[in-house]
Amino acid sequence: MKIILAPMEGVVDYAMRELLTASGDYDLCVTEFVRVVDQLYRPAHFRKICPELDHGAATRSGTPVRVQLLGQHPGWMAENAAVATHLGSPGIDLNFGCPAKTVNRHKGGAVLLREPETLYRIVRAVREAVPDRLPVSAKMRLGYETPDLALDCAHAIESAGASTLTVHARTKAEGYRPPAHWHIIDDIRRHVSLPVIANGDIWSREDAENCQRISGCKGIMLGRGALCLPNLAAVIRRQDRALPWPGLCDLLVSYATFPRPDKARGYLPSRIKQWLRYLMRQYPEARILFEKIKQLRQLDEITAMLKL
């Protein structure tokens, strides 16, 4: 079984990838998206989003980290893909699922699911720009408003040369509302021959088993569930127990004190609060801690509270 840590912009950053993959239970991580409009990014931009590029493009546990690109212009996507792989990214992932209005207005992310032909051209161009030995993967939702074009999109992605396809089993219009339609992943999987990874609403071991059974997929991708239960991959893979609360506090402190450039520390108070909001789903203690720190603005004060 393959377990992949989902890309989550503004949430699953370098530090989070490092902490969540420390036990070695993930097979792969995907970075937050690099948004490509009409420019070729300098290496520093890729390194900012994927600092792992300076360490063999893997987290310390050895989990490979693949750069994700989001954009609509095949040419610019291809050129940026070439740079990212030249810097060491072990492949490229393409984002065809982002629901954000600003991104969709500029024809990036999920809106492209209305145009299988454009998906084909993007994947094809990136495939040609990336060395043959490295995978080009794609991640899609079921569609924009409806799943009507899901099979066409999957077929376009496959015939353009993608090596795997992750399907987040909701349309853009459905946002993150449950349920995820795992049975439609099964329709897609039967329609193509490339490996399909199932994603959406896997919060527990039982969900993982149900998702695999219904979708027919061996590989799964964990997003919010991995934030709510930071050892979810081990719970699924090795039947581990849920990480107890004291261990979780240590993890929060590690996140708060993770070495980062100074300018990247400013957003940490809100990121810690955001993580606590996810943790509330699994840990009642997280709500109590959140109430204690919600008015605090300084990282030092928050870290001190986490240590108590």
Ligand X SMILES: Cc1cc2nc3c(=O)[nH]c(=O)nc-3n(C[C@H](O)[C@H](O)[C@H](O)COP(=O)(O)O)c2cc1C
Active-site residue numbers? 98
Nearer to ligand X, 6 or 125 (CB): 6
Least gap, CB of 256 to ligand X (angstroms): 19
Nearer to ligand X, 73 or 139 (CB): 139
**Contact region with ligand X (CB under 6 A), list: 93-101, 144-152, 242-250, 292-300:** 93-101
**Does 202 contact ligand X by CB under 6 A?**
yes
**Contact region with ligand X (CB under 6 A), list: 83-91, 92-100, 245-253, 292-300:** 92-100
Residue nearest to ligand X (CB): 223
**Does 201 contact ligand X by CB under 6 A?**
yes
- Contact residue for ligand X among 71, 88, 200, 219 (CB under 6 A): 200
Nearer to ligand X, 58 or 227 (CB): 227
- Structural tokens at position 191: 């329609």
- Contact residue for ligand X among 95, 118, 137, 231 (CB under 6 A): 95
Give yes or no for a contact between 182 and 208, defined as CB atoms under 8 angstroms apart.
no
Q: Exposed, middle or buried: residue 175 (CB in 10 Å: 0-12, 13-18, 19+)? A: exposed
- Structural tokens at position 173: 């219009």
Nearer to ligand X, 51 or 223 (CB): 223
User: What is the spatial distance between Cα 2 and Cα 26, in angstroms, rounded to a whole number?
Assistant: 8
**Does 172 contact ligand X by CB under 6 A?**
no
**Contact region with ligand X (CB under 6 A), list: 2-10, 261-269, 277-285, 289-297:** 2-10
> How does DSSP assign 173-238, residue by residue?
TTTTPSPP-HHHHHHHHHH-SS-EEEES---SHHHHHHHHHHH--SEEEESHHHHHSTTHHHHHHH
User: What is the spatial distance between Cα 119 and Cα 128, in angstroms, rounded to a whole number?
Assistant: 14
* CA neighbor of 272 nearest in space, from 235, 222, 227: 227
C-alpha separations of 188 from 10, 165, 180, 219, 253 in Å: 29, 10, 14, 14, 42
**Does 64 contact ligand X by CB under 6 A?**
no
Sign of CA dihedral 11, 204, 210, 170: negative
Least gap, CB of 112 to ligand X (angstroms): 12
Neighbours of 1 (CB within 10 A): 11
Least gap, CB of 177 to ligand X (angstroms): 10
Q: Counting every residue, how long is the chain?
A: 308
User: What is the spatial distance between Cα 125 and Cα 130, in angstroms, rounded to a whole number?
Assistant: 9
Specify which residues 216 forms β-bridges with.
Answer: none
Kindly provide the residue ranges of all beta strands, DSSP E only, lying in the chain, ordered along the sequence.
3-5, 28-35, 65-70, 92-96, 136-143, 164-171, 196-199, 219-222
Least gap, CB of 13 to ligand X (angstroms): 11
**Does 32 contact ligand X by CB under 6 A?**
yes
Nearer to ligand X, 20 or 303 (CB): 20
- Contact residue for ligand X among 21, 59, 63, 68 (CB under 6 A): 68
**Does 18 contact ligand X by CB under 6 A?**
no
**Does 73 contact ligand X by CB under 6 A?**
no
Least gap, CB of 100 to ligand X (angstroms): 9
- Residues in the site for ligand X, rule: CB under 6 A? 6-11, 32-33, 68, 95, 97-98, 139, 168, 176, 199-202, 222-225
